[in-house]
Amino acid sequence: MSNKISDERKKEIIGGFYELSKQNGLENTSIAKIGKHLGMPPSLIMHYFPTREILISNLISFILEQMLMIYQPMLEELEIQNYADPHTFVDRLFSRDWNLLLDDGVFYSCFSLIFRNKRIKDEYRVLHEKLRENLKAILDRDETLHGKDTELLAEQIFVVVEGAYYYLSMFDDPEVYEEKVTIFKNQVYDLLRKYEVQHL
């Protein structure tokens, strides 16, 4: 029911903003450049996003929505089988799938804004809590983990995943990269195993 043209244009603009930020960096992407890229005057962009701050705020919402998409295939599986293998999900977290959804450079540029903007910080925190809650939901359906503190386990798994993402982004050599991925993946498997074993 809501205004269709308006919504489409907004999506288009945020998409262009994201694309250019990916190429040239967030700090080098001006409203004029977005306009040129999309073939529209800067004034049209400012019609939909009255200030640059609002524009950035919307880019961040877009980015955080993208992040949640890592669960997309998992949720379908959950619906069909009422179960999803935690190990498979961990593999997925460490695969390149996430990079396909979201550019790391843009992500960390936006992340660095949390330190001077409380609203952005809150938005990031909520996203990270959602990521953990979703993992907890997956863990809760695994019977080997029944009765365990899956909230704690999800927290511990994700802190390794996030540390790994951060650290691995410094390595270009695919061989070294894969070697390190294996280490961190095993580190998470150990956590899962530790919880499973306590059950016996």
Partner DNA sequence: GCATAAATTGAACGCTCATTCAATATTATA
Partner DNA sequence: TATAATATTGAATGAGCGTTCAATTTATGC
The helix/strand count (H/E) of the chain reads as 11, 0
Q: How far is CA 138 from the centre of its chain?
A: 18
For position 166 contacting its own copies by CB under 8 A, the verdict is yes
**Binding-site partner at residue 198 among its own copies, DNA, none, CB < 5 to 8 Å by type:** none
- Contact positions with its own copies (CB under 8 A) in 76-105: 103-105
**How far is it, in rounded angstroms, from Cα 143 to Cα 84?**
11
Structure tokens belonging to residue 179: 């070697």
Of 71, 75, 63, 147, the residue nearest 107 (C-alpha) = 63
Please give the torsion angle defined by the CA atoms of residues 62, 68, 74 and 77, in that order, rounded to the nearest 10 degrees: -60
Q: Which of 11, 25, 30, 129 binds DNA (CB under 7 A)?
A: 30
- Smallest separation, CB 99 to its own copies (Å): 11
For position 67 contacting DNA by CB under 7 A, the verdict is no
Binding region for DNA (CB under 7 A) out of 51-59, 80-88, 102-110, 158-166: 51-59
Written as one letter, the residue type at 193 is R
For residues 94 and 148, is the Cβ–Cβ distance under 8 A?
Answer: no
Of 101, 45, 46, the residue nearest 72 (C-alpha) = 101
- Smallest separation, CB 37 to DNA (Å): 11
For residues 130 and 64, is the Cβ–Cβ distance under 8 A?
Answer: no
- Smallest separation, CB 83 to its own copies (Å): 27
For position 44 contacting DNA by CB under 7 A, the verdict is yes
Nearer to its own copies, 80 or 170 (CB): 170
Binding mask 124-143 for its own copies (x = CB under 8 A): xx--x---------------
Nearer to DNA, 43 or 82 (CB): 43
For position 6 contacting DNA by CB under 7 A, the verdict is yes
Number of residues located near its own copies, criterion CB under 8 A: 41
For residue 150, what are the contacts with CB-CB under 8 A and spacing of at least 6? 136, 139, 140
Structure tokens belonging to residue 177: 């990269």
For position 11 contacting DNA by CB under 7 A, the verdict is no
Binding site for DNA (CB under 7 A): 3-6, 9, 28, 30-33, 40-44, 46-47, 50-53
